[in-house]
């Protein structure tokens, strides 16, 4: 993983775009940078919630565990994303766990400092609300899909989404690197690994995609879109 300074990361964090020098200084003075190795926890469920986090590099997994110990994978976060924001809004216990899916670099800010900043910069507060609204919509969509679509369909949708997010050109062959395991895809779609496997092979048989453990190659994007 590339190593850069805290300043560099903060300057390039989209959430903090368009702030004054003074505001940037406030942020610099009130954040610390931290790194975690793969599988290290950032926080656990039920922990006291003191801080908000800005992910710079790597991948953080947000999960909730039921009483029976079953894991619900909420999301996998990528650089530029924010987590632990509930603390800023008066939630003093973590409702979920944050664990490094891959080794990661992030900045940490105390919740009261973040609140101070939001009250100081109203436009940032609005941006913060926007962020929450986006998450709400995404969660809402997932809930609807779970209600109305079959396992098979949700897995197909997931693959489509993967392709949409990682392809630049519109046609020709698209290769998606760094594939998630079937197990992870199953968790993200609320299905099971066997069915994920079966959908992948269904697409392979129909020559819509080809894949190995490292990547997915989309052969016929049109066919995938209406599969």
Partner DNA sequence: TCGCAACTGTCATTTTTCTGACAATTATTT
Partner DNA sequence: AAATAATTGTCAGAAAAATGACAGTTGCGA
**CB nearer to DNA: pick between 6 and 193:** 193
Report the alpha-carbon distance of residue 142 to residue 136 in Å, rounded. Answer: 10
**CB nearer to a copy of itself: pick between 125 and 166:** 125
Tokens, residue 197: 């496997």
Q: Does 68 interact with DNA (rule: CB under 7 A)?
A: no
∠ Cα 88 126 47 (to 5°): 15
**CB nearer to DNA: pick between 36 and 209:** 209
Question: Diameter of the chain by CA atoms?
Answer: 59
**CB nearer to a copy of itself: pick between 37 and 183:** 183
**Residue 76 site contact among a copy of itself, DNA, none (CB < 5 to 8 Å, cut-off depends on kind):** none
Cβ burial, residue 138 (10 Å; 0-12/13-18/19+):
exposed
Binders of a copy of itself in range 47-106 (CB under 8 A): 64, 66, 70, 72, 74, 85-86, 88-91, 95
3-state secondary structure of 225: helix
Task: Count Cα neighbours of 214 within 13 Å in the Cβ-side half-sphere.
Answer: 0
3-state helix, strand, coil in the chain (%, to 5): 45, 25, 30
**Residue 95 site contact among a copy of itself, DNA, none (CB < 5 to 8 Å, cut-off depends on kind):** a copy of itself
Give residues in contact with a copy of itself (CB under 8 A). 64, 66, 70, 72, 74, 85-86, 88-91, 95, 115, 118-120, 122-123, 125-126, 128-130, 132-133, 135-137, 139-140, 142-144, 146-148, 190
């Amino acid at each position: 993983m590339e190593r850069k300074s805290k300043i560099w990361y903060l300057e390039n964090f989209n959430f903090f775009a368009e702030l004054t020098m003074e505001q940037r200084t406030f942020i610099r003075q009130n954040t610390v940078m931290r790194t975690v190795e793969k599988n290290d926890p950032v926080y656990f469920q039920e922990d006291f919630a003191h801080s908000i986090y800005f992910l710079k590099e790597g991948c953080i997994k947000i999960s909730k565990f039921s009483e029976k110990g079953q894991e619900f994978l909420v999301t996998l976060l990528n650089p530029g994303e924010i987590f632990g924001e509930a603390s800023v809004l008066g939630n003093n216990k973590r409702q979920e766990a944050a664990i490094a899916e891959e080794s990661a670099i992030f900045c940490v800010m105390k919740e009261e400092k973040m609140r101070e900043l939001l009250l100081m910069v109203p436009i940032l507060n609005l941006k913060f609300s926007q962020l929450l609204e986006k998450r709400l919509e995404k969660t809402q969509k997932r809930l609807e899909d779970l209600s109305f679509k079959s396992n098979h369909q949700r897995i197909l949708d997931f693959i489509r989404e993967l392709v949409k997010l990682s392809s630049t050109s519109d046609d020709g062959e698209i290769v998606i690197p760094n594939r998630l395991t079937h197990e992870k895809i199953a968790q993200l779609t609320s299905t099971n690994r066997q069915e994920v496997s079966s959908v992948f092979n269904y697409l392979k048989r129909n020559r819509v995609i080809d894949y190995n453990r490292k990547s997915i190659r989309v052969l016929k994007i049109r066919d995938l879109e209406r599969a």
